[in-house]
Structure 1
């Protein structure tokens, strides 16, 4: 098994055609805090997170994932991962060096097997953050990112073999086979998941709330604001976390969640869950049914940024 050096998920960076509408959404009903903004570029922090930002919005002609960022413990770990990837023939976007983004740090970027840009970094300054109070229905942190993949088995193998991700659980369909793989880099059940899809794209990004009450209050705020709900509220079986999925103005699916399971990595054995069983998708039975409408919205638009490094 590949030695795991990645410690956690840092942020997801999105290019969007309508920056102003996206900014209004994320700083308004969604509950993030704008930081370090520039013309057409905004870094959005979660008040409960030590990360400088959890979402970056960049104004662009076409929608895409700019990059997904992960942290490691030391600059030496950055160098080890960069060398490991280069030796394996993975295309580096940038060599290890000083980062020019908020909080600084040391890191590099590379393309994964399908062309997404991934950043690995260490020594990023900690943001002044705070404890989210009872009843405060804003995100505590970025919980996980789920990507759509046209070659999900190869994508899973890439992240396991090169980056030390570990499989937590798999969702299967009795006729279509394996459909989603949950991968972890620490004791959280998943920091990333990979979904089978006709094309690479963002499936969803998920934000952890303080607790059940705050999760429901946030869900209700979005419903009252007229934000389109895709699926939820409910509780998944894999990960045991709650879910409410909404569409942002650019058509990206965003999730409020809480109580994501933490596993004992020494004893954990991955499960195969048949998601045609209602309790797998939603233990509570409160969410709308998982159907073609939900699946199609989760497919998102094909990512236009594959094997194209973001300009920032």
Structure 2
């Protein structure tokens, strides 16, 4: 396995046909803050996060995942990773250099095994952020991202081999076999998970809330506003985190969560959990059942951006 050079998840960038509606959703009821906007591109931050932004929206004809961005500790690590990927036959989109987005920095982009655009950067200026107050039900930070892959095992092995991800846990189903791998780049149980899906697509983006009360208040706010709920509220077994999944206006699944498990990496061994068991899907027993409809809603539309780099 490759040495771990990634430090954390920075942001997830989406291309959206109805740009204004999406911007109203994320900068409104979802609770992010628009920090910059220019020519059909907006950058949205979480008030509690030092990241310059955690979601980027771009106006486009086709809905797609533009990219997933990760941090590295230094420009030297960025260069090392680029050299390793190139030597390993990974297709680079750009060479390491200046990053022209809020906060600047030094980074590059490349395609993963399924054709998603991945960005890695270092030396990005920290954003002035603040403590989220009690009962303030807005996201503190970006928690994790989950992707759908038609070849679960191959995608897992690619991220382990090329980017140094480690397996935390696996979900298994008696009818499907292995269904999801939770992958980490730190002591956080997962910053990414890979789900078995019928096509390459975004499964969901997860946003961390201050605590249980703020998580429930945010969940209730969206329910009262009539935002389509996919699944929840509940508490997962793998990762031990809470979950409430909703659809944004274009059918991307977004999650409020909190209390994601922190692991002792020296002693942790991956588990295989049977998620046909009720307690594995939801420890609390408060969420709606995981039926076929819920599963299909998480498949999302096939990503039209595979092996096509975003224009910006």
Compute the TM-score of the two structures, normalised by the length of structure 1: 0.99
Residue 269 of structure 1 aligns to a residue in which SS?
Answer: coil
In 1, distance between residues paired with 2:2 and 2:67? Answer: 23
Quote the Cα distance in structure 2 between the aligned partners of 1:26 and 1:258.
Answer: 19
**What CA distance in whole angstroms lies between the structure 2 residues aligned with 1:245 and 1:8?**
22
Aligned residue number for residue 267 of structure 1: 267
Q: How far does the alpha carbon of each residue in 1:219-238 deviate from its partner, in whole angstroms, 9 at most, with x for none?
A: 00001111000000000000
Q: Which residue of 2 aligns with 1:18?
A: 18
What residue in structure 1 maps to residue 189 of structure 2? Answer: 189
C-alpha distance in structure 2 between counterparts of 1:152 and 1:310, whole Å: 24
- Aligned residue for 1:301, secondary structure, equals coil
Whole-Å separation in 2 of the counterparts to 1:12 and 1:98 = 19
Kindly state the Cα deviation for residue 35 of structure 1 after the two structures are TM-superposed.
1.0
Distance 1:32 1:172 in 2: 34
> Which residue pairs with 1:246 in the alignment?
246
Match of 1:51 in 2: 51
In the alignment, what sits opposite 1:72? 72
Per-residue CA deviation, residues 223-272 of structure 1 (Å, 9 max, x unaligned), is 11110000000000000000000000010000000000000000000000
Q: How much does 1:39 deviate?
A: 2.3
Higher deviation after alignment, 169-178 or 277-286 = 169-178
Distance 2:185 2:127 in 1: 22
The whole-number CA distance in structure 2 between the counterparts of 1:175 and 1:29 is: 38
**Whole-angstrom CA distance in 2 between matches of 1:40 and 1:222:** 26
Alignment of 1:173-252 (within 5 A): 173-252=173-252
Q: Which residue of 2 is the match for residue 35 of structure 1?
A: 35
Task: Measure, in 1, the Cα distance between the counterparts of 2:200 and 2:2.
Answer: 25
Alignment of 1:68-217 (within 5 A): 68-217=68-217
**What is the DSSP-based 3-state SS (H/G/I as helix, E as strand, rest coil) of the residue aligned with 2:93?**
strand
SS of match in other structure, 2:296: helix
Post-superposition offset of 1:36? 1.4
Work out the number of aligned pairs and report it: 312
Q: Secondary structure in 2 aligned to 1:93?
A: coil
Q: Deviations over 1:65-123 (max 9, x none)?
A: 00000001000000000000000110000000001011000000000001000000000
Encode CA deviations 1:142-161: one digit per residue, 9 max, x unaligned.
00000000111111011000
Equivalent position of 1:257 in the other structure: 257
Distance 2:199 2:2 in 1: 28
In the alignment, the residues of structure 1 paired with residue 133 and residue 149 of structure 2 have an alpha-carbon distance, to the nearest angstrom, of 37
- d(CA) in 2 for partners of 1:114, 1:217: 37
Q: Post-superposition shift, 1:175?
A: 2.6
Q: Distance in 2 between matches of 1:112 and 1:208?
A: 26
Unaligned runs of 5+ in 2: none
Q: Distance in 1 between matches of 2:305 and 2:60?
A: 11
Alpha-carbon distance, 1:38 to partner: 1.0
- Shift in Å at residue 305 of structure 1? 0.2
The whole-number CA distance in structure 2 between the counterparts of 1:103 and 1:175 is 46
Counterparts of 1:176 and 1:122, CA distance in 2:
39
